A and B are shown apart, each in its own frame.
Chain A
């Protein structure tokens, strides 16, 4: 849908899809964090209801074995035949004629549980008195270690060692549209069609194929309009398996739309973990070595496709990435607990990494008597450090981190803020200033990290681009359409973009980890350029070029402009664009395309994976006024300067920067999923899990620097998560600065700040 259609209310989200012939599914969910499911019986007054349990599924579908580096593999039953592993875990599903009846029936299904001891903390998981998965006696779902022992000497001889343990809360993305699935099975074609609110249609098809035991070609996944995703919709869910399976069994089209309670309870969570981070410095503040141990609370499962290492691995691999240092030693573990599975939410792993690194730098600056801006200037990578590879193996192509920081400090009038701080202090007020500088990993090349683009000019000259990516509101179509139109020299209106349909679009990774501009954009450019050259060659033949038609020659000698392909040096000599298209489809009477030179047709499909991840970078300055009595703080200034290489579309970049920053305000100050000791989720409504409203988000000032990437064809670097990963850190630094305290745990609730203020005033 275009933005204009969306603004008219004409979007077609999953709940909006025509469903006159659909029956409705509702799920029976465990009220226990860990329990044996002894029996599941239909409602007393509806003994004939269509009811499917984990046991029914067990003999018919395959468990999934999620595999990725560092993962301990086990059988993931999408609906477990014998046990419930977290509150909200689906144990059965019912089918009814409408959603109201389906929910009534689900409530009346009689399940007998035998509660088991629940693992609800990292400490309990590591203590492994209770085992969650029989195959994994130590509750470890993921384990990774790098450079063991490599920093011992440097830490022993350093002038200053700073080490703290940081805690990051459990959070979840809360896309405003919950999930939903509509599934049909065509018995004649023996094919499934699954409409689902997803970021990863092709991964999903692959997972479904493994679980349902049918070839991928027998499954068509279609992503309708998606009302936000932010990582939450980048995995395969049990409901996406149960509906197509049941559609085949019952012969009915089936629909399920998640409600918000289910979404908070039983979709996926993210971010929760602890990080013990140490840094060794020289006396002048130069960073020498880094050591870290991260433990992530992965919840009940290692979900497909990314698995339980997502947050802790991303945390440790990116620590101090923007800062010079010689060596690092890191260790990451993902533990199973009886909570909803952890997977992705914008800022994966790096929310914790940036928070810990930036607070640790401020603590070190305090020890060394340096200004926070100065310790960053001394350690941030310099332009002549690029290309650069970090001790954990991250390769950076280009960057101007020092300039990004300088711009942010200047725009925020950092020196002025420091002067105001002194004045405020003299009047008994606490004004705090925070500075952070970091980079963002984008275009992730793991799992397997490629994208596919097909660009086609139809015989009538209309153009379609088919992409493996899947927008969830980022406005891909606008940007893709423009990039293709520019490459082919045609008006934007001629180009139509199709995303999110596995029958039409080439396979590829989908949309996550800020990858679209760089990986999809790169592949799209390849396909468009190939198609352009083919057009030029057909035109060259029509213009009776003699000799070899190399790519370089046609690019040099021909141009496309104003609906014509003409000689670069003699624009009056040329052929109409549409005539060239017709010639390529062998539809011209006065010209016969020599097919031994150029094959007929105008369609190109290309796949590509970038040789390395691409890193954008950001610097943020925040000023906050803290009320030490109440713990409340107001954001006075928030200045964010980002460098995402060449900006493909300014409005989109600004939208991602500001929107990501708003989400960062949520992550840093409000968002926290709380479980009690029995594993009951205490925050299962939007009255308890708070996200920022327009009142909590101040005006955000955004600046840009453009240091082109040398890795991507379009010179862009991904962005879209930097606000979310940097804002919690900069607010923590600002509050810590205001209180002369250390902040090692988020979110910055009023309670926590008031506590810090009391501690600080007693010093």
Chain B
């Protein structure tokens, strides 16, 4: 596995150029090459959603994508969400609504919700639940997450 491919992409707004093994997953590239360990791996077969990042604004499972497939793309990870000391409003809402416990699924939930909120207008709570259904949380029972997303989406009930 000595063959390597040149990779250029944007990660959280910064240009990144690296040579990578063709079989390196995007998740491992972010976590190991770039030390962006906020993207977590819960199943490595595309079910749990913990590794979700935004690729050109679209929520994608980084365990199912090779790093090389992200050539020329713009990636946003959990580390790109807060602006310095200021949490993103969705992060703040999740904290206030008891929407996390162990924090392992949280980055994937946030990135999933970011894409949803970008595209949804006046969603119902059922639609919020559906949007979250690709991210597994074993701690919270999802209630605080639904409340937080509803708050940001301006949903009353």
Contact = CB atoms under 8 A, between A and B. Distances in A.
A504 interface: no
Contacts of B31: 15-16
Given A10-B38, A175-B138, A655 B101 contact: yes
B41 interface: yes
B48 interface: yes
A640 B133 CA distance: 24
Contact of B87 (A8, A11, A178, A472): A8
Interface in B68-102: 77-79, 81-82, 87, 91, 94-95, 98, 100-102
Nearest to A263: B43
B38 A473 contact: no
Contact of A13 (B104, B129, B140): B104
A655 B100 CA distance: 9
Contacts of B47: 685-687
A227 B107 CA distance: 12
B138 A661 contact: no
B40 A686 contact: no
Interface of B: 1, 21, 23-24, 31, 36-45, 47-48, 50, 77-79, 81-82, 87, 91, 94-95, 98, 100-107, 110, 128-130, 132-146
Interface stretch (A146-154, A607-615, A689-697): A689-697
A553 B143 CA distance: 49
Contact of B103 (A227, A693, A694, A699): A227
Contacts of B103: 1, 3, 6-7, 11, 225, 227, 473
B42 A176 contact: yes
A228 B1 contact: no
18 contacts: A6-B100, A7-B100, A8-B87, A101-B1, A228-B138, A260-B48, A473-B139, A659-B101, A659-B139, A662-B141, A663-B141, A685-B47, A686-B45, A686-B47, A691-B136, A693-B135, A694-B130, A694-B142
User: Which secondary structure dominates where chain B touches chain A?
Assistant: loop
Interface in A195-229: 225-228
B95 to A, nearest CB: 6
A661 B140 CA distance: 9
Contacts of A177: 40, 42, 102, 104
B136 A473 contact: no
Contacts of A651: 98
Contacts of A6: 100, 102-103, 106
A660 B139 CA distance: 7
A473 B106 CA distance: 12
Contacts of A226: 102
Contacts, number: 163
Interface in A174-189: 174-178
Interface string A694-705: 110101100000
Those 9 A-B pairs whose CB atoms lie nearest each other, nearest first: A9-B38, A473-B102, A6-B103, A227-B104, A662-B141, A9-B78, A16-B37, A658-B141, A686-B47
Contact of B78 (A3, A8, A686): A8
Interface of A: 1, 3-4, 6-13, 15-16, 100-101, 173-178, 225-228, 230, 259-260, 472-475, 651, 654-655, 658-663, 685-687, 691, 693-695, 697, 699-700
B94 A7 contact: yes
A712 B80 CA distance: 45
Nearest to B140: A659
A592 B23 CA distance: 69
B42 A655 contact: no
A472 B104 CA distance: 10
Which of A173, A227, A474 has most B Cβ within 10 Å?
A: A227
Given A4-B87, A7-B95, A260 B42 contact: yes
B109 to A, nearest CB: 10
A8 B82 contact: yes
Contact of A7 (B43, B87, B137, B140): B87
A699 B48 contact: no
B134 A227 contact: no
Contact of A662 (B77, B78, B128, B142): B142
Contacts of B79: 8-9
A523 B104 CA distance: 29
Contacts of B136: 176, 686, 691, 693
Nearest to A226: B102
B85 to A, nearest CB: 10
A228 B107 CA distance: 15
A686 B48 CA distance: 8
A655 B139 contact: yes
Contacts of B95: 3-4, 7
Contacts of A178: 42
B74 to A, nearest CB: 18
Contact of B44 (A12, A227, A259, A472): A259
